[in-house]
């Protein structure tokens, strides 16, 4: 039980908004400027949830995931410039493939170092199949996210063990939130940032300078909601649920390119998207139940720690060798580990406006690759 009950929907939403506001306010301080509001809201939510102030799961969080998160994509992409997209996305795609390599290397190293067959899961499965299932499961989730995670759970048979899946989800949520914090902190580490090619594209795609008005925000929200609704209808009609973000991206980028005036008509869309993205970060972080993870499967902590450490090491070493920049690499890593929604949100929050659209696109690529790579590793193992 938490101080704020899960069924007190308005109170939960209020707590998320308060955490977001505190995170923005922290950026006025010296520490907040170095840590960034993204990291602050994640850490605040983890602490608040694990000290019993706010719940780990609540219908209000589901509301954010179901209705707020989809709006973020159009709100960010109204600034997209298709004329630069091919060049920008190609470099971020290369960075994403490096991130995929890091995930595969990480899960293989973790599986070789740890005896995953000893996890008390899937009692009806052979030990080698349990270990192979875990390898495929975590490879898929750190290449494409929760959609691939669910698919591999069924393919491997691990989803039948509810207690393990609950612990694995807790581990995924906690370490994803912590990893997002690490990604946000890396650009401030000068001894790392100084070793990479300077990112000269950061200010190419600038946010509209037109005055923000109530009307422009209203137009932006109405257009964003219309795009999401049209996308969902198309996915329903043609039975293409996994193509949701790809279709949404295509519609928005096409509109932004064909009618460049919407950059001015929807002034403030980008800023609204950044504000809403903080509620998303808080809702993700709140789901990190440390106690549940430790009590059910502590070995998962070592597994994910090794996996993400190797992932990040490969990302930085290979990425530097290929001449990729930190914003490209960190956006790609975010898209691989957390998905197509957090990548553009972090890019927007960090001011990497030219990485917003590529972040969505490589995140969608992760949805396509995650299940495939996870299944291949499962079969090989």
Q: Angle CA(363)–CA(366)–CA(369) in degrees, nearest 5?
A: 160
Q: How far apart are CA 378 and CA 32, in angstroms?
A: 42
Residue 260 CB contacts under 8 Å (≥ 6 apart), including other chains? none
Q: What is the largest CA-CA distance in the chain?
A: 63
Percent of the chain with pLDDT over 70: 85
Helix, coil or strand: residue 189: coil
Output helix, strand, coil percentages for the chain, rounded to the nearest 5. 80, 0, 20
Is residue 118 predicted with pLDDT exceeding 70? no
Tokens standing for residue 73: 């994509």
pLDDT at 331: 93
Q: What is the pLDDT confidence band of residue 54, given thresholds at 50, 70 and 90?
A: very high
Average pLDDT over residues 135-150: 80
Is residue 173 predicted with pLDDT exceeding 90? no
Average pLDDT over residues 37-55: 88
- Per the document, the length of the chain is 381
Is residue 204 predicted with pLDDT exceeding 60? no
Residue 174 CB contacts under 8 Å (≥ 6 apart), including other chains? 46, 288, 289, 290, 293
pLDDT at 222: 96
Mean pLDDT: which of 63-67, 144-148, 336-340, 358-362 is highest?
A: 63-67
pLDDT at 203: 45
Numbers of helices and strands, H then E, in the chain: 19, 0
pLDDT at 146: 62
Q: Are 56 and 287 in contact (CB under 8 A)?
A: yes
Mean pLDDT: which of 11-15, 300-304, 348-352 is highest?
A: 11-15
Domain boundaries, the chain: 9-189+205-380
Tokens standing for residue 234: 């198309």
Average pLDDT over residues 36-62: 88
Q: Are 94 and 324 in contact (CB under 8 A)?
A: yes
Question: How far is Cα of residue 215 from the mean position of the Cα atoms in its chain?
Answer: 31
Average pLDDT over residues 197-219: 72
Q: How far apart are CA 136 and CA 117, in angstroms?
A: 13
Helix, coil or strand: residue 78: coil
Closest CA to 29 of 18, 20, 40, 19: 40
Q: What is the pLDDT confidence band of residue 162, given thresholds at 50, 70 and 90?
A: low
pLDDT digits (tens, 9 = 90+) for 318-335: 999 999 999 999 999 999
DSSP 210: S
Mean pLDDT: which of 15-19, 142-146, 179-183, 212-216 is highest?
A: 15-19
CB under 8 A, 24+ apart: contacts of 9-14:
9/58, 9/59, 9/60, 9/63, 12/54, 12/55, 12/58, 12/59, 12/60, 12/61, 13/60, 13/63
- Other CB atoms within a 10 A radius of the CB of residue 292 amount to 17
Instruction: List phi, psi (to 5°) of 333.
Output: -65, -40
User: Of the ranges 164-168, 241-245, 260-264, which one carries the lowest mean pLDDT score?
Assistant: 164-168
pLDDT at 202: 44
Model's pTM, two decimal places? 0.71
Q: Are 260 and 106 in contact (CB under 8 A)?
A: no
Q: Which helix (H) or strand (E) holds 103?
A: helix 82-113
Residue 243 CB contacts under 8 Å (≥ 6 apart), including other chains? 235
Is residue 86 predicted with pLDDT exceeding 70? no
Q: How far apart are CA 283 and CA 278, in angstroms?
A: 9
User: Does 9-189+205-380 carry CATH code 3.40.720?
Assistant: no
Q: How far apart are CA 256 and CA 258, in angstroms?
A: 6
Is residue 163 predicted with pLDDT exceeding 80? no
pLDDT at 16: 96
pLDDT at 55: 94
Residue 167 CB contacts under 8 Å (≥ 6 apart), including other chains? 292, 293, 295, 296, 297, 300
Q: Which helix (H) or strand (E) holds 365?
A: helix 356-380
Average pLDDT over residues 255-281: 86
- Other CB atoms within a 10 A radius of the CB of residue 123 amount to 8
């Amino acid at each position: 039980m938490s101080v704020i009950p899960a069924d007190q929907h308005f109170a939960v939403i209020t707590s998320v908004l308060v955490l977001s506001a505190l995170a923005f306010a922290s950026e006025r301080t010296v520490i907040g400027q170095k840590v960034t509001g993204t990291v602050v809201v994640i850490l605040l939510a983890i602490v608040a949830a694990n000290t019993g102030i706010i719940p780990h799961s609540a219908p209000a969080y589901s509301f954010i995931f179901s209705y707020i998160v989809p709006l973020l994509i159009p709100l960010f992409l109204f600034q997209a410039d298709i004329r630069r997209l091919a060049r920008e996305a190609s470099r971020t795609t290369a960075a994403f493939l490096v991130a995929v390599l890091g995930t595969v290397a990480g899960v293989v190293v973790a599986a070789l170092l740890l005896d995953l067959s000893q996890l008390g899961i899937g009692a009806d499965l052979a030990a080698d199949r349990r270990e192979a299932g875990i390898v495929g499961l975590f490879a898929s989730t750190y290449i494409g996210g929760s959609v691939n995670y669910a698919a591999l759970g069924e393919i491997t048979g691990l989803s039948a063990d509810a207690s393990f899946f609950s612990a694995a989800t807790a581990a995924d949520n906690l370490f994803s939130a912590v990893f997002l914090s690490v990604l946000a902190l890396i650009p401030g580490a000068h001894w790392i940032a100084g070793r990479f090619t300077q990112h000269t594209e950061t200010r190419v795609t600038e946010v509209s300078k037109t005055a923000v008005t109530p009307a422009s925000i209203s137009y932006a929200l109405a257009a964003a909601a219309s795009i999401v609704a049209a996308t969902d209808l198309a996915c329903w009609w043609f039975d293409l649920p996994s193509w949701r973000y790809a279709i949404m991206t295509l519609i928005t980028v096409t509109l932004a390119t064909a009618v460049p005036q919407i950059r001015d008509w929807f002034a403030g869309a980008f800023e609204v998207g950044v504000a809403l993205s903080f509620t998303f970060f808080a809702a993700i972080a709140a789901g990190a139940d440390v106690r549940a993870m430790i009590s059910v499967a502590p070995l998962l902590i070592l597994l994910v720690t090794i996996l993400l450490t190797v992932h990040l090491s490969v990302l930085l070493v290979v990425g530097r060798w290929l001449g990729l920049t930190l914003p490209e690499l960190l956006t790609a890593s975010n898209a691989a580990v957390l998905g197509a929604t957090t990548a553009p949100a972090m890019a927007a929050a960090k001011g990497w406006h030219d990485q917003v659209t590529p972040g969505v696109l490589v995140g969608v690529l992760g949805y396509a690759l995650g299940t495939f790579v996870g299944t291949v590793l499962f079969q090989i193992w």
